[in-house]
Amino acid sequence: MTQNETTQTIRLWETQRQTDGAPLSLPPKAYTDPGFFALEVESLFRRQWLCLGRVDEIPAPGDFFTLDLLDEPLLVVRGDDHCVRVLSNVCRHRNTIVASGSGNARRFVCPYHSWSYHRDGTLDRAPNATPDQLALLDNCRLECLRSEIWQGFIYVNLDNEASPLGPRLTALDILLQRYHTDTMHQVFSTQETWATNWKSLIENFMEGYHLSTVHPETLAPMAPTRLCEKLDGGLDWTGYRAHYPENFDAEVDNPDLTLMEQRCSTLFSVLPGQVVSQRANMLVYLALQPLNANEVCVRWGLSVYDRNLSAGQIDQFVDGWKAINREDHSILTRVQAGLRSRNAIAGPLGRSDHEGTVIDFHNYLARHLLTRRN
């Protein structure tokens, strides 16, 4: 796509937002245009808070995991002071990637020239450094990026001027207070690449309209579309409840929940790139990193409330969610193919309890993409 075509997509979107009548989905080119994707990366993903994982993935000092975020190699580590830090995983000598994979380390040693760093990112040793080099290394350390912990999730922001995340989610904190989300125990995580635009995945996870048709055996018996209820979201989040039918036997491990909370799933999105399903006995999150207009990296994990579950019970939970995700991935691949068609249109969105969260998401996108572009 040329810059002119991207501009045309934006103008079409602005026009349709000013049109009376039922709200429409985004223009199809917003899901396929590389120029529009580049705008999203610069205006959203390099400026907003992005989820990287859960704090209990790295429970002990020296525990770490690595990942790439928008071409930024990151090292997420718990220090000797028990603080979780998100460090740049790039050596300060010749810019080599320092650590890889995950595990536990007393220090991090660059494989190129053996410069080593403490668990807080400060320089430990530079072998055979000259006196002049040592004078320059007094404040040498792996760059420490802005990070926050919220409800047991680890977030990073690549923009040093961004406002804190926590105060933006106060209303969501109140909604989750009896779930004890921050103390749940992660038992599974993995990373996948899905053949869809990242926005389609957010929209799909955050609407109940598709539950009865896309998930007839995995989710519909527990959370049919007809029982979905949109929540009042905030500027940086949206959510809905998927209520259970009377004949559904819900598992409840948390006695602090109200009867209504025991009988529903609470789904929410911390925008732009995280979606979560919170139940009485488990939590599943997807953290998204868009790779291009047609692909998204999905890091997802499952946590439980009861730490005494057997391996078989955990496997049953994980297998269930793998099946759900396969169903969503399959339908979203078909959506992406349809969006590339010349006959693709911006279609009307449904009632609030079914697709109101999608409207919240589009309003969020408009605030950040339509007002900040040059």
Separation CA 205–CA 332 (nearest Å): 11
Range 178-203 average pLDDT: 97
Backbone φ, ψ for residue 152 (5° rounding): 85, 0
Evaluate if residue 187 carries a pLDDT over 50: yes
CATH topology of domain 50-157: Rieske Iron-sulfur Protein (2.102.10)
Bigger pLDDT: 142 or 249?
142
pLDDT of residue 286: 98
Q: What is the DSSP letter of 112?
A: T
Evaluate if residue 353 carries a pLDDT over 50: yes
pLDDT tens-digit series, residues 94-152? 999 999 999 999 999 999 999 999 999 999 999 988 888 777 777 899 999 999 999 99
Cα–Cα distances in Å, from 175 out to 53, 105, 178, 255, 278?
21, 38, 8, 16, 11
Separation CA 4–CA 176 (nearest Å): 44
Q: How confident is the model at residue 270 (pLDDT cuts 50, 70, 90)?
A: very high
Cα–Cα distances in Å, from 122 out to 61, 108, 138, 284?
15, 10, 10, 34
How much of the chain, in percent, has pLDDT values that exceed 90? Answer: 87
Q: How confident is the model at residue 21 (pLDDT cuts 50, 70, 90)?
A: confident
**Beta strands of the chain (E only): which ranges?**
50-54, 63-69, 72-78, 84-88, 102-104, 108-109, 116-117, 123-125, 144-150, 153-157, 185-194, 228-230, 237-243, 264-270, 274-278, 282-292, 295-304
pLDDT of residue 2: 61
Inter-residue contact 298 to 311 (CB < 8 Å): no
pLDDT of residue 137: 79
Evaluate if residue 289 carries a pLDDT over 80: yes
pLDDT tens-digit series, residues 25-46? 999 999 999 999 999 999 999 9
Evaluate if residue 372 carries a pLDDT over 70: no
Separation CA 30–CA 198 (nearest Å): 11
Average pLDDT across the chain, whole number: 94
Evaluate if residue 168 carries a pLDDT over 50: yes
Superfamily grouping for domain 3-47+168-369:
Naphthalene 1,2-dioxygenase Alpha Subunit; Chain A, domain 1 (3.90.380.10)
Q: Which amino acid is at 350?
A: G
Same fold, 3-47+168-369 and 50-157: no
Q: How confident is the model at residue 374 (pLDDT cuts 50, 70, 90)?
A: very low
Separation CA 274–CA 238 (nearest Å): 11
Inter-residue contact 158 to 72 (CB < 8 Å): yes
Range 232-243 average pLDDT: 97
SS3 158: coil
Q: Give the start-to-end residue ranges of the domains of the chain.
A: 3-47+168-369, 50-157
